[in-house]
Amino acid sequence: MAKLRWGMIGGGEGSQIGPAHRLGALADGLFDFAAGALDHRPDVGRDYAQRLGIAADRAYGDWRDMLAGEKGRDDQIDLVTIATPNSTHFEIAKAFLEAGFNVLCEKPMTMTVEEGQEIVRVAESSGKICAVNYCYSAYPMVRQARAMVRAGDIGKVRLVVTNFSHGHHGDATDADNPRVRWRYDPAMAGVSGQFADCGIHALHMASFICDDEVKSLSADMASTISSRELEDDAMINFRMEGGTVGRLWTSSVAIGRQHGFDIQVFGETGGLRWASEQPNQLIYTPVGGRTQIIEKGEAGLHADTQRLSRVAIAHPEGFPLAVANIYCDLADAIRGEHRDGLPGAADGLRSIAAVHAAVASGREDGAWKDARPPMFR
């Protein structure tokens, strides 16, 4: 099967997420890295793209040049990844979708709910794929958790509790580090800091595993480092459409916590627990029974779990391979084979609607807000 052609915007040398995209997109031999506008500094981006093996005429200095250059080609890219800071996602995603390209956009998909709705509409009318990189949902044992919930293994879900709390922005003397600072700058990050940066992964994961959507929420948002305009800690209570009660804590000042993403789902007949720092194990407890550790790679797992697991039992499969799973599902989708579970523009929109609801709630001492985007109410 011919390889698909892939391009990336952002994700330049030294960026946080760029390497995970390159490892993920290229892991399975499904894509060639054909074009890129990798850096906000045109010369730096062109130079780095060529060092990564991109031909000189497709090593672009700016995403607009890349759009113009790729549009006219017979061998134009089949997919573009947008891995730039948040404030640029909307205009780049919209322009590429309108020009007929498939898009994988980093989260948060947009800064505002209106922009998010616009992306959903443009993706629909263009007939192109707009995926959003909720890559944690592509870990094999997360797929296993969802399959077990769907199969009724823990009964009706009563409660979901999730945390995405780390301590890597907890040093007040480092608050002006440029890699840290933009995340709390409304002009670059939007209305929310930590919730939009990490908390939305946890919220998406709750929806993904429970197979349900967030309906309403109440939030307490805090800037524990007072120079920050946006929150670095948030506690969100939420309710899902199906009645499930949700609790979410997200923080960037939880010193001592490393990656800090975990989720527990409690149903009428059992409970599940998954943590990103032990991604190969899913912990399952049936009501009245013993706690069991389900290992990636063991016999009898759900077909989707097996499909997205590459190496034998007990060998770690980490973050870049979860990202690679997103690219596998994208390659299938581009070739016309729908993969259930690939996060799309609707998921990106639901997240940004929840972010805005949380900020509004926080400003009103935790008043409950409708968390759904207007177009899904």
**Per-residue b or e along 210-235, where b marks 16 or more CB atoms closer than 10 Å to that residue's CB:** bebbbbbbbbbbbbbbeebebbbbbb
User: Cβ of residue 10: shortest distance to ligand NAI, in angstroms?
Assistant: 3
CB nearer to ligand NAI: give 137 or 216.
137
Taking the complex as a whole, how short is the minimal distance between the CB of residue 292 and ligand NAI, in angstroms?
A: 29
Gap between the Cα atoms of 143 and 141, Å rounded? 5
Q: Which residue shows structure tokens 């090593």? A: 59
Q: Which is nearer to ligand NAI, 197 or 266 (CB)?
A: 197
The residue (of 189 and 301) whose beta carbon lies closer to ligand NAI is 189
CB nearer to ligand NAI: pick between 5 and 89: 89
Cα separations in angstroms, 115 against 81, 131, 174, 352:
18, 15, 32, 9
φ/ψ of 16, rounded to 5, equals -75, -45
CB 9, min distance to ligand NAI, A: 5
The span from the CA of 293 to the CA of 302, in Å, is 15
Supply the minimum distance, in Å, between the C-beta of residue 287 and ligand NAI. Answer: 34
Give the sign of the dihedral formed by CA 72, CA 78, CA 81, CA 87. Answer: positive
- Contact at 8 Å (CB) between 234 and 273? no
Residue 253 sits at the vertex; the CA angle it makes with 249 and 258, to the nearest 5 degrees, is: 80
Alpha carbon 190 to its chain centroid, in Å, reads 17
Nearest to ligand NAI of 12, 297 (CB atom): 12
For the bound state, the minimum distance from the C-beta of residue 32 to ligand NAI, rounded and expressed in Å, comes to 20
Q: Which is nearer to ligand NAI, 12 or 199 (CB)?
A: 12
Q: What is 278-320 written as a DSSP string?
A: STTEEEEEETTS--EEEETT-TT--HHHHHT--S-TTS---HH
Q: Which is nearer to ligand NAI, 84 or 351 (CB)?
A: 84
Tokens of 1: 């099967």
Please tell me whether the peptide bond between 85 and the residue prior to it is cis, using omega within 30 degrees of 0: no
Q: Between 4 and 138, name the residue whose CB sits nearer to ligand NAI.
A: 138
Integer Cα distance of 210 and 213 in angstroms: 8
Q: How far is the CB of 336 from ligand NAI (least distance, A)?
A: 26
Applying CB under 6 A, the residues found at the interface with ligand NAI are 9-12, 15-18, 37-40, 63, 83-86, 88, 106-107, 133, 135, 179, 197
Please report how close the Cβ of residue 153 comes to ligand NAI at its closest, in angstroms: 28
Q: Which among 142, 60, 104, 4 is positioned nearest to 345, based on CA atoms?
A: 104
Measured torsion, CA atoms of residues 368, 369, 371, 377, in degrees rounded to the nearest 10: 120
In the complex with ligand NAI, the residue whose CB is nearer, 126 or 133, is 133
Question: Please, what is the minimum distance in Å from the beta carbon of residue 178 to ligand NAI?
Answer: 8
CB of 88 to ligand NAI, least distance (A): 5
In the complex, which residue's CB is closest to ligand NAI? 12
